[in-house]
Amino acid sequence: MPSKILMTPEDIRRTLARIAHETVERNKAIEHLILVGVHTRGVPLAKRLAANIENIEGLKISVGALDIRPYRDDLASLNLQPIVHSTDIPSSIDGKSIVLVDDVLYTGRSTRAAMDALTDLGRPKSIQLAVLIDRGHREMPIRADYIGKNIPSSRHEEIQVHLEETDGIDRVAITNAVEERPPRRESSGKVAYLGRSYEPSQ
């Protein structure tokens, strides 16, 4: 079945503007806020949210990038090794309010890994979660504080988030995946699984 477009560039723009306003309303001490994007698409989303908050408050917000690779609990079972990204947090997170930013919230395992990675870096005052898409099917007791769009889906459907910074276009689509389909091998030789790219284990 061809992909069905769920969010257009304008939908994404307006959604991120709303999440920025919700973040400002919830966090009164904006100067103590750090947005941390989860590689890969969480990073440009965090940067866009920071720009929106700066437009609202006139205050520049720190933005970091988080590599959750060492903290994932599903790589061995998938026989996959993720592409290595760097973790770059611009300042100490001790006592700060952290907003984790990711593209899709699914089982909750990536979010758990991200929280483990953060707490290894310091002791934040709080950790909040902002996601563009919540598709359900949680396997852990994790929920998002800021949700762009709830998209009910089956496990055999794939949510595709494309962003200008990583894919050359802003779009969210849903498509049927073949039941028990193996991870997709990209032309680069990398493997795509659950919306992230990996390199096969040797």
Residue 183 has pLDDT above 90, yes or no: no
Region 12-33: mean pLDDT is 97
Write down the pLDDT at residue 72.
78
Q: What is the pLDDT of residues 74-95, one digit of tens each?
A: 665 555 555 556 899 999 999 9
Average per-residue pLDDT for the chain = 87
pLDDT tens per residue across span 96-114: 999 999 999 999 999 999 9
pLDDT tens-digit profile of 126-178? 999 999 999 999 999 999 999 999 999 999 999 999 999 999 999 999 999 75
190: pLDDT strictly greater than 60: no
Q: Are 133 and 148 in contact (CB under 8 A)?
A: yes
What local confidence, expressed as pLDDT, does residue 95 receive?
Answer: 97
pLDDT band (50, 70, 90) for residue 115: very high
Is there a contact between 116 and 144 (Cβ–Cβ < 8 Å)?
no
Residue 73 pLDDT greater than 60, yes or no: yes
- pLDDT score of 69 more than 90: no
From the list 148, 147, 153, 100, the residue with the least C-alpha distance to 126 is: 100
Strands (E), the chain: 4-7, 33-38, 62-66, 80-82, 97-105, 126-134, 146-150, 157-162, 171-176, 184-185, 191-193, 196-200
Residue pLDDT, tens place only, 32-61: 999 999 999 999 999 999 999 999 999 999
pTM score, whole prediction: 0.84
Domains of the chain: 8-154 (3.40.50.2020)
The residues facing 157 across adjacent strands are: 176
Q: Are strands 4-7 and 171-176 parallel, antiparallel or unpaired?
A: antiparallel
- Confidence (pLDDT) at 150: 98
